[in-house]
C-alpha cells in the first residue's frame, strides 16, 4: 500500500488511465480547432468532439445537441442561473434554491440578489440534508422562473428527490436546473425521467480531466434558451463562446463511457466498502455521529462528527490520509460548514466533522488502514480534550458559561 492515501474523491478524482490514453493523440497529432470547417485538421477535431458529446449525452439520457461544454461545473452553474435569469427576466426574477447548494450556485444567487436582479428563496433541508418537494411547491410564486436544486451534496452525499422536484417544476412551467456535479457517473441520472431542464456536471469528479465541464440545456419540451455570459465566436449554439479544448472533451467523453460501463459494479463495491468503514469507526468510537442520510446517499460518501475533538487536528493527526473537514479552521471564512449547520448539526459537532470520499481506486487495504488510524487519533485527541474530560466527569457542556471569543 502506498502512502498517502487519497480519500478525498469529492474534491476531485484521479484520472482513469484509459481516459489519458484516449486524450493523448489530441495534443500533438490531432491538434485541430473543432470550429475550423474547411480543412481536415478541423474535421478531425470536430469528429472527436461530436463523439464525446454522444458519450456524455448517453450517460444522462440526453441528446448530444443538448450538451454545452464549459470549463467546469462552476461555470455551468453560473451560466445556467445567470443565463436563464437574463433570458426570462421579463417573465419574472424569482429563483428558488436550497441552503445546502454548492457555493457556485449559492454565491451566484447571492450576487444576483445583491445587484437587485433577482429575489431568491433558500429552502431549508431536513436533518438528513434533503429538500422537501412540498417546500419547493409552496415557495413558487407567479414570478418564479427557475428552481435550482442539487442532485447530491458534496459534503454529506445526501441525494435529493430530484424527480419529484422536476415534476413540480414541469407542472408549473418553471425551469429546473440541477447541479449534478457529485452525482453524474456515480448514480443513474436520466434528465428525461428526472424532468431536468438544465444540468451542471464536470469531468474531473468522474475520473476525467480537470478544466472541462458541461451544461445540459434541454432542446425540446420546453426548448430552454439562455443568454451567453461571455461574448465571442458563438460556439456551442451561441451559449458559450471559446475554442473547445478538444483533448479535455475527448477525455470527458471517455470518462462518461467508463462510468456507464462500470457504474453498477463500482457503486456496489463502494457502498459495501463505505458501509464497512462506517460500521468499524462508529462501533470503535463512542459519540461519533453520522452526518447526512443513512441510506439515500452517494456510494462513496461518509461524513462523521467525532464529539470533543476538532476537525483540523484530526486531519493533522492523519497526515498520510487525504481527507476533508467541515471545521472552521480548514475554511477560508473561519466558519464551520454551512451544510452541516443547515442540517441542524450543532456548531461544536460541525467543527468535529470529517468527510471520507471513496473512489474507483480505493482499496480494502486502504480502508483497513484508515479505520485503524481514525480510531487511534480520535482516542488520542480525546485524551487531550478538556471537553472530553468534563463530559466524562459528568459535566453538562451545554450548562457551562463559555467565554466566546
Partner 1 sequence: MAYSDKVVDHFNNPRNMGSFKKDEEGIGTGMVGAPECGDVMKLQIKVQNDTIVDAKFKTFGCGSAIASSSLATEWLKGKTIEEAQQIKNTDIVQELNLPPVKIHCSVLAEDAIKAALADYQKKAGDKTEAAT
Which residues have CB under 8 Å from 187's CB, separation 6+?
Answer: 151, 152, 159, 263, 267, 298, 299
Q: Which of 178, 256, 259, 329 is catalytic?
A: 329
Q: At what angle do helices 103-114 and 73-88 cross, to 10 degrees?
A: 30
Over the range 44-82, which residues count as b (16 or more CB within 10 Å of their CB) and which as e?
bbbebbebbbbbbbebbebbeebbbbbbbbbbbbbbbbb
Specify the residue, 96 or 309, whose C-beta has the smaller distance to partner 1. 309
Specify the residue, 298 or 328, whose C-beta has the smaller distance to partner 1. 328
How far apart (Å, rounded) are the C-alpha atoms in residues 353 and 341? Answer: 11
Specify the residue, 69 or 308, whose C-beta has the smaller distance to partner 1. 308
3-state secondary structure of 303: strand
Surface-to-core class of residue 247, CB atoms within 10 Å of its CB (0-12 exposed, 13-18 middle, 19+ buried): buried
Min dist CB 375 to partner 1, Å, is 18
Specify the residue, 372 or 392, whose C-beta has the smaller distance to partner 1. 392
Min dist CB 325 to partner 1, Å, is 10
| Phi then psi dihedrals of residue 9, to 5 deg | -70, 0
Query: How would you classify the pairing of strands 324-325 and 353-357?
Result: antiparallel
Q: Could you list the residues that contact partner 1 (CB under 8 A)?
A: 308-310, 312-313, 316-317, 327-329, 334, 336, 346-348, 351, 383-389, 397, 402-405
Min dist CB 74 to partner 1, Å, is 23
Min dist CB 397 to partner 1, Å, is 6
Instruction: Identify whether 259 is a catalytic site residue.
Output: no
Min dist CB 329 to partner 1, Å, is 4
Specify the residue, 118 or 377, whose C-beta has the smaller distance to partner 1. 377
Pinpoint the alpha helices (H) of 222-363.
246-284, 311-317, 338-342, 347-351
Q: Which residues are catalytic?
A: 329
Amino acid at each position: 500500500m502506498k502512502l498517502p492515501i487519497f480519500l478525498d474523491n469529492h474534491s476531485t478524482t484521479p484520472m482513469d488511465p484509459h481516459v489519458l490514453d484516449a486524450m493523448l493523440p489530441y495534443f500533438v497529432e490531432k491538434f485541430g480547432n473543432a470550429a475550423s470547417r474547411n480543412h481536415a485538421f478541423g474535421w478531425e477535431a470536430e469528429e472527436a468532439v461530436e463523439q464525446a458529446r454522444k458519450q456524455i449525452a448517453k450517460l444522462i439520457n440526453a441528446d448530444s445537441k443538448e450538451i454545452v461544454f464549459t470549463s467546469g461545473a462552476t461555470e455551468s452553474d453560473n451560466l445556467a442561473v445567470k443565463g436563464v435569469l437574463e433570458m426570462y427576466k421579463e417573465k419574472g426574477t424569482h429563483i428558488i434554491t436550497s441552503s445546502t447548494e454548492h457555493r457556485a450556485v449559492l454565491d451566484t444567487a447571492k450576487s444576483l440578489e445583491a445587484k437587485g436582479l433577482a429575489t431568491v428563496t433558500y429552502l431549508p433541508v431536513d436533518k438528513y440534508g434533503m429538500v422537501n418537494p412540498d417546500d419547493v411547491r409552496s415557495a413558487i410564486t407567479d414570478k418564479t422562473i427557475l428552481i435550482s436544486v442539487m442532485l447530491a451534496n458534496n459534503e454529506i452525499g445526501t441525494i435529493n428527490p430530484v424527480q419529484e422536484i422536476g415534476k413540480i417544476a414541469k407542472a408549473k412551467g418553471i425551469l429546473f436546473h440541477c447541479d449534478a456535479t457529485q452525482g453524474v457517473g456515480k448514480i443513474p441520472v436520466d434528465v428525461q425521467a428526472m424532468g431536468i431542464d438544465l444540468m451542471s456536471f464536470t469531468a474531473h469528479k468522474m475520473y476525467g480531466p480537470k478544466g472541462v465541464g458541461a451544461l445540459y440545456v434541454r432542446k425540446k419540451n420546453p426548448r430552454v434558451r439562455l443568454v451567453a455570459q461571455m461574448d465571442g465566436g458563438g460556439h456551442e449554439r451561441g451559449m458559450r463562446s471559446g475554442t473547445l479544448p478538444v483533448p479535455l472533451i475527448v477525455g470527458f467523453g471517455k470518462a462518461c463511457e467508463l462510468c456507464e460501463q462500470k457504474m453498477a459494479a463500482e457503486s456496489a463495491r463502494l457502498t459495501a466498502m463505505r458501509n464497512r468503514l462506517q460500521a468499524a469507526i462508529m462501533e470503535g468510537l463512542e459519540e461519533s455521529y453520522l452526518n447526512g442520510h443513512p441510506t439515500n446517499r452517494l456510494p462513496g460518501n461518509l461524513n462523521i462528527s467525532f464529539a470533543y475533538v476538532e476537525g483540523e487536528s484530526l486531519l493533522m493527526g492523519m497526515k498520510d490520509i487525504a481527507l476533508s473537514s467541515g471545521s472552521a479552521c480548514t475554511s477560508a471564512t473561519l466558519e464551520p460548514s454551512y451544510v452541516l449547520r443547515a442540517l441542524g448539526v450543532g456548531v461544536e459537532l460541525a467543527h468535529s466533522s470529517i468527510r471520507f470520499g471513496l473512489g474507483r481506486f480505493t482499496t480494502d487495504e486502504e480502508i483497513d488502514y484508515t479505520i485503524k488510524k481514525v480510531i487511534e487519533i480520535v482516542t488520542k485527541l480525546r485524551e487531550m480534550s478538556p471537553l472530553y474530560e468534563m463530559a466524562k466527569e459528568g459535566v453538562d457542556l451545554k450548562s457551562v458559561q463559555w467565554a466566546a471569543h
